[in-house]
Structure 1
Amino acid sequence: IGTPRAAMRQPSSLADRLNGAPASPSLLSQGVIPAARSQDLEIGIAAEYNSLLEKILRDHAKFQANYFKAASETEKKEVIGDAREYLIRTLTQSIFPAWYGTPWSFNGHTEVPKKDSIACGYFITTTLEHLGFKLNRYSMARQPSENIIKNLVSNPDVLTRFSNEPIESFVKKIKEMGEGVYLVGLDIHVGFVVNINGSVIFTHSSYYPPRRVLSEGPFTVNPLRDSNYRVAGTLFDDGMVKKWLTGEKFRLEYDFFKGKK
């Protein structure tokens, strides 16, 4: 990561910018698990994932340095734009593939891909924490899906809601909202919706068979298609990226359990 202005281009779309560094196949992302003892495989996956997290830490530090040494608001906006592209690319091309195949369970909260299990809310908070955002992944993940979204987006009053609308209408609206990553709450579920290059993909820890972390189209048999209620919030807007750059922690301002025994 160099000086933001030196690295800037003018590609035609978000997809062009994100596709500059395709991920390589690895133990984490291969669909077929190599023949190996289970313990050895877990050690290898953990080591590979730790290497990814260490790289994210190094990149994060460089972005923070560029942001704090920016001499003007224009330069800061350039850093924010570069950081946003980095966050989306790293989440969708590196972190998501690492988690594919990790089993789902209602109370799962593993921090290591393919080891133990992870619930839908914990998949959201764990991957964002591993991306470098400061949050309490436990208390955040326990919230109803709409509260998770409200606690993460910069303007919780501006969410898009869909009630009893067909999935076709939802996908059309997401495309109209623009390219990027959205956090979508459902009747009893939560997941990421990625809209890049004209394709809308749902990435989540699914309680539908085969009950694992996966990315799939919106029209398959999945909770996104079948839910009667959907609420969507945009991730990685300027306010959220600024928190990543400054190290500000997300507060649990919307807490369903506050005051409850």
Structure 2
Amino acid sequence: MKNLFYSALLLLAGSGCHAQPSTDYSAPAYRATLQRFDQRRTALAARYRQAATPAARATCLAEARDLWLTALDSTVFPAWESTPWSFYGHSWEPRQGSIACGYFVTTALHDAGLRLPRTLLAKQAATVIIRNLTTEAHMHRYRGISQAAFVQQMRQLGPGLYVLGLDYHVGFLRVREGGAVQMVHSSYTGAGGVVREAADASAALESQARVVGKISDDTTLLRAWLLGTPLVARGCTVKS
């Protein structure tokens, strides 16, 4: 069954169809904006290191969370939108070449300033990716529930950024204040490409098993992003 699924993905990859760009994109402007975010991160990291109390450090981490999410929401996700999907896609540049679902997750996080083994993690099963970004305390598993029920469960977990693992797919879920739930992923369905779409309407969210990791609530990950600490891969298998 899995082989049939993969065969279908490869046929889609060769179809040449993908979403059309929805926003203007300039590689120099993108890199310049990311550099400005990195400068703000560096300044905030200096404040964190100088903080004299737990409360002051907690304030810095809260600011770090907001800055990190803003970088993803306002710059990284829009830049990568409409980049074509393909099963073996591994582009480093938005809207150039193609990108697979795992590579989109790790590359988006990399572009937002998280130091991680982008290629190694991109080739792992979704659960392994999530476990390398957060802990069991921030993970939730669902099996055999409807798409609508799952989206409602996400609303109850609250606003933030999640990495979502499905039977054969991985992406982000962005839960907003007010209850809107977006799926941000390199989709093999429809036109085939990176999209931000309502989760309850996403064909790619169909799955028997679903696991999410709320990475925006993980202070260890936030601290690693803030301080530029490299993540060490755990439990990964090497694939060609």
TM bin, normalised by shorter chain, reads 0.7 to 0.9
In the alignment of these two chains, the number of paired residues is 219
Kindly state the Cα deviation for residue 246 of structure 1 after the two structures are TM-superposed: 2.3
Of the structure 1 ranges 248-257 and 203-212, higher mean CA displacement relative to structure 2 is found in 248-257
Q: Which runs of 4+ in 1 moved over 2 A?
A: none
Of the structure 1 ranges 125-134 and 213-222, higher mean CA displacement relative to structure 2 is found in 213-222
Aligned to 1:17: none
SS of corresponding position for 2:174: strand
* 1:193 alignment partner, one of 149, 164, 173: 173
Aligned to 2:132: 151
The two structures have a TM-score, normalised by structure 2, of 0.86
Between the aligned partners of 1:221 and 1:203, the Cα distance in structure 2 is 10
Between the aligned partners of 2:42 and 2:126, the Cα distance in structure 1 is 31
Greater helix proportion: 2
Of the structure 1 ranges 77-86 and 212-221, higher mean CA displacement relative to structure 2 is found in 212-221
The two structures have a TM-score, normalised by structure 1, of 0.79
Give the structure, 1 or 2, with the largest relative contact order (CA under 8 Å, sep 6 or more).
2
Between the aligned partners of 2:89 and 2:21, the Cα distance in structure 1 is 22
Between the aligned partners of 2:78 and 2:227, the Cα distance in structure 1 is 27
Q: How does 1:1-261 map to 2 (within 5 A)?
A: 31=22, 45-153=26-134, 155-156=135-136, 158-197=138-177, 198-224=179-205, 226-236=206-216, 237-257=218-238
Kindly state the Cα deviation for residue 132 of structure 1 after the two structures are TM-superposed: 0.9
- What is the percent sequence identity of the aligned residues? 33
Where does the alignment leave 5 or more consecutive residues of structure 2 unmatched? 1-19
Q: Deviations over 1:143-192 (max 9, x none)?
A: 00000000001x23652111111011111111111110110000100010
Between the aligned partners of 1:53 and 1:157, the Cα distance in structure 2 is 30
Instruction: Output the aligned Cα RMSD.
Output: 1.9
Between the aligned partners of 2:117 and 2:220, the Cα distance in structure 1 is 18
Between the aligned partners of 1:56 and 1:256, the Cα distance in structure 2 is 33
